[in-house]
Structure 1
Amino acid sequence: MAYIREVKYYETDKMGIVHHSNYVRWFEEARMDFLGKIGFPYDKMEEMGIISPVLGVSCKYKTVVKFGETVEIETKVISFNGIKLVLGYEIKKFGTDEITTVGESEHCFVDEQFKPVNMKKLNRDFYETTVSYVKQ
């Protein structure tokens, strides 16, 4: 599922190139967009008392993205077992096949006391919907 955004001036360095720290924010924006598009916006999960902390993030830069460009961030479910969710991201310059960045983020699901919860048991709809997006 694709999330499209324009590069903001404040996200760049003196050379007009997107600063590396912004890609993690973009991954989060794309994740929130993905969850909303599949019918499970993050605020809905929080209302259920479910929190999804980040366990890890990785990012590889292939080419630069600059101020004024528009990017398309493809979000893919790499794996999900009900407790741990791994998402993959591929950033392209909008309207091209040029991949600028690839990355992953790992998340778990916990209750408000930070005790792990199994979404397969707690919210079967979320589990089945998310698993249906796992890329083989």
Structure 2
Amino acid sequence: MEKYPGYVRKPFYYETDKMGIIHHSNYIRWFEEARVDALNFMDCPFEKIEAEGIMIPVLGVSCEYKEMVRFGDEVVIKPFVTKYTGTRLDFEYRIYQGEKLVTTGTSQHCFMSYENNRLIQLKKTHPIIHELFLDYYETTKESY
């Protein structure tokens, strides 16, 4: 699989606080936008995953702010898969402004069935989707 180049994002004015700095709550949304974009890059968009009866809930999320991002700045969000088991999927995120690392974060997820709200093992239930996640994991693990 080709290496994912990252999700380019220009902050919107409504995402700022009174000081013109991006409000901390928006970074979690940006992580989600980058995950969704990465799924599209993998040719496995959320619509396809949901049509297969799979949900990927967020189990946990964290964010560490190293530098301020302001309205008008352009950032690149790079999501890396740090753990993939077929039932669990963990991401690390790095947000760059140019070459400067400005924010890092993590999120933890699992794969569940919409039908019965139980964990599923993608390797058994959806082997093609499993291979896509495994390939993405193998491609990104070299980067962290």
- TM-score bucket of the superposed structures, by smaller chain: over 0.9
- RMSD after superposition: 0.9
* Equivalent in the alignment of 1:35: 39
2:16 aligned residue (12, 33, 38)? 12
Q: How many corresponding residue pairs?
A: 134
Per the alignment, residue 108 of structure 1 pairs with 110
Report what 1:70 is aligned to: 74
> What is the distance in 2 between the residues matched to 1:54 and 1:114?
14
Helix, strand or coil: the match of 2:40? Answer: helix
Q: What is the letter of the counterpart of residue 100 of structure 2?
A: E
User: Any conservation in 1 of the 2:44–2:132 contact (CA below 8 Å)?
Assistant: no
Q: Which runs of 4+ in 1 moved over 3 A?
A: none
Alignment of structure 1 residues 74-113 onto 2, 5 Å: 74-93=78-97, 96-112=98-114, 113=116
Pairing partner for 2:130 from 106, 127, 130: 127
What secondary structure is seen at the aligned counterpart in 2 of 1:132?
helix
List gaps (5 residues or longer) in structure 1: none
Task: Specify the code of the residue in structure 2 equivalent to 1:105.
Answer: S
TM-score by structure 1 length?
Answer: 0.95
Q: Distance in 1 between matches of 2:63 and 2:35?
A: 15
How far did 1:3 drift?
Answer: 0.4
Task: Return the structure number with greater helix share.
Answer: 2
Distance between the aligned counterparts of 1:23 and 1:131, measured in 2?
Answer: 26
Unaligned runs of 5+ in 2: none
Distance between the aligned counterparts of 2:7 and 2:88, measured in 1? 23
Per-residue Cα deviation, 1:41-98 (whole angstroms, up to 9, x for no partner): 01111111111100000111100000011110011111100000001110001xx210
- Deviation of 1:126 after TM superposition, in Å, equals 1.8
Aligned to 2:25: 21
Provide the C-alpha distance between the structure 1 equivalents of 2:129 and 2:80, rounded to a whole number of angstroms: 15
Percentage identity across paired residues of the two chains: 45
